[in-house]
Amino acid sequence: MEILHVSAECYPVAKAGGLADVVGALPKYQQLLGHIAKVVMPMHRMKFLYNNEWEVVHKGWFRMGDREFDFTIIKEKNNKLGFDLYCVDINGLLDREKIYGYDDDTERFTAFQIAVAEWLRSWEHRPDAINVHDHHAALLPFMLRHCFAYRHLANIPVVLTIHNAQYQGWMGWDKATYLPAWDTWKWGLLDWENAVNPLACGIKCADKVNTVSPGYMNELRYAANGLEHLFNMEWMKCSGILNGIDYAVWDPAKDTYILDNYSVADCKEGKALNKKKLCDDLGLDINLPLFVFIGRLVHEKAADLLPAVITSAYARFGTTFNFVILGSGDPNVEAALDYMRNHWFGYYHSQIEYNEKFSHQLYAGADFLLMPSRVEPCGLNQMYSMRYGTVPMVRRTGGLNDTVIDIGDWQGYGICFSHASLDDILEAMERALHIFKDKPLMHEVRERMMSVNNSWETSANKYIELYQSIYK
């Protein structure tokens, strides 16, 4: 099969979260299965753009509302990612240094999708399937079916993959004029609660809809930020496919970011050396258990609880542990976490940024990873931590519930709790402190979790089966 993935992000080109990791790995593994996978994304002005060679493969133009735009499709020349990578350049609109966060994001991502549709119109052949990711690409199924210029592409199977249904791309009906001429009798496909809702539109118009874990798909039937009724109506074409992780990138035996490489066979020694390097660099006591939080400091991740959790934990347990934070997001949470460095010097460290190298070092050197998420469609961090022998501490929700088995259960290797609350998290930390003291148990758990297979091979094949099911 030939599959075209359409996404706002792709690791290592541009990353804001797990979406990039998936789009950077899934096509590569589909290629390894013998298929042709391609990715098209906006041309963000980031390091990858300047550090690689590109060639122009298409030029075109389109009208959006009362404005005309020229666009260029460029292709990375050396297949560095293991698949063909294309970027859409629209001067002044897509060529920016950040992926999101601009006042005209609605215009930016609508233009991106129109450019992709115009490019597809020029192809001499048709892809066997198009996989659009999240609301930034979710208008494409509607455009290919109901915009007059693209109706000859209407029979191409389209799958919508939802990585996070909390973000839906809402826009006012005045923005509907941005779309190329379309069959206005189909206005109901764009509408949800008196607004144009790209994600809802994609759910209605795509041939198949999947989320990044079975557990998250079940949750969306009763907690989908206003789309619960829609998911129940469209349930027959919905499924969940658990994300994998890229074992070529996340491999403690080969990871160039960490001090000492190790595998399950020598994880005890490898973890100890990496922890020593990390603690020495941060001024922490290596003999104490090391907890880490890695991720966006936002409400979904329950990051707003972290200041109270850490303060309360030191009050309850004393200086019997270290805690390190890596992430950015809510400015208030950032400020609170940064301020705490003055109070718990020698036991606490915060680094308010996204830092890929440091994240690898934390996974390799930490004892426990805390993920108290209120919403977690799949979660990749818990899988990274397992791969590196770091015990995941997770709330039972979405993909976290699908991937982590509590130590108290048969063949368990994680610490699970039910609520994103101060009491539940503190109780989980207390369990972790007791487990840490049991060195044989810690070693057994590490070996067990590092042996779990969370690679992309199985999941990539399930995506192929999903595409093929549309033809049946």
Q: Given this model, what pLDDT does residue 332 score?
A: 96
Cα atoms found within 13 Å of the Cα of residue 446, Cβ hemisphere only: 30
Q: What is the DSSP code string of 111-124?
A: HHHHHHHHHHHH-S
- Tell me the mean pLDDT in the region 206-225: 95
What are the domain boundaries of the chain? 2-244+457-471, 264-450
For residue 203, pLDDT over 80 is answered with yes
Give dist(CA 300, CA 304) in Å, integer.
9
Q: What is the DSSP code string of 145-186?
A: HHBGGGGGGTTS-EEEEES-TT----B-GGGGGGS-SB-GGG
Confidence of residue 326 (pLDDT cuts 50, 70, 90): very high
Instruction: Tell me what the pLDDT averaged over the chain comes to.
Output: 95
Q: Given this model, what pLDDT does residue 279 score?
A: 97
Q: Given this model, what pLDDT does residue 359 score?
A: 97
Give dist(CA 259, CA 436) in Å, integer.
23
Q: Given this model, what pLDDT does residue 255 score?
A: 97
Give dist(CA 449, CA 443) in Å, integer.
10
Beta bridge partners of 332: none
Pairing of strands 67-76, 84-89: antiparallel
pTM of the model: 0.89
Neighbours of 63 (CB within 10 A): 12
Whether 2-244+457-471 and 264-450 share one fold: the answer is yes
Beta bridge partners of 455: 245
- b/e 427-440 (16+ beta carbons within 10 angstroms → b): ebbebbbebbeeee
In Å, what is the CA distance from 113 to each residue of 53, 136, 263? 24, 8, 43
> How do residues 230-250 score in pLDDT, each as one tens digit?
999 999 999 999 999 989 889
Asked if the peptide bond before residue 180 counts as cis, ω within 30 degrees of 0, the response is no
Place of tokens 């013998």: 34
Token code pair at residue 4: 């075209």
Supply the DSSP symbol for 400: H
Q: Given this model, what pLDDT does residue 185 score?
A: 95
> How do residues 273-295 score in pLDDT, each as one tens digit?
999 999 999 999 999 999 999 99
Neighbours of 330 (CB within 10 A): 16
- List, in sequence order, the alpha helices (H) in 170-254: 187-190, 198-205, 214-219, 228-233
Residue among 198, 164, 158 at smallest CA distance from 178 = 198
Confidence of residue 179 (pLDDT cuts 50, 70, 90): very high
200, 205, 208, 212 alpha-carbon torsion, rounded to 10°: -30
Token code pair at residue 407: 């130590």
Give dist(CA 88, CA 43) in Å, integer.
5
For residue 452, pLDDT over 90 is answered with yes
**Whether domain 2-244+457-471 has CATH 3.40.1280.10:** no
Q: Given this model, what pLDDT does residue 248 score?
A: 87
Beta bridge partners of 295: none
For residue 472, pLDDT over 90 is answered with no
User: 170, exposed or middle or buried, with CB in 10 Å at 0-12, 13-18, 19+?
Assistant: middle
For residue 156, pLDDT over 90 is answered with yes
- Tell me the mean pLDDT in the region 383-412: 96
Q: CATH assignment of 264-450? A: 3.40.50.2000
Give dist(CA 251, CA 244) in Å, integer.
13
> How do residues 80-130 score in pLDDT, each as one tens digit?
999 999 999 999 999 999 999 999 999 999 999 999 999 999 999 999 999
- Tell me the mean pLDDT in the region 369-384: 95
Residue among 32, 8, 172 at smallest CA distance from 459 = 32
- Tell me the mean pLDDT in the region 160-178: 95
For residue 415, pLDDT over 70 is answered with yes
> How do residues 292-315 score in pLDDT, each as one tens digit?
999 999 999 999 999 999 999 999
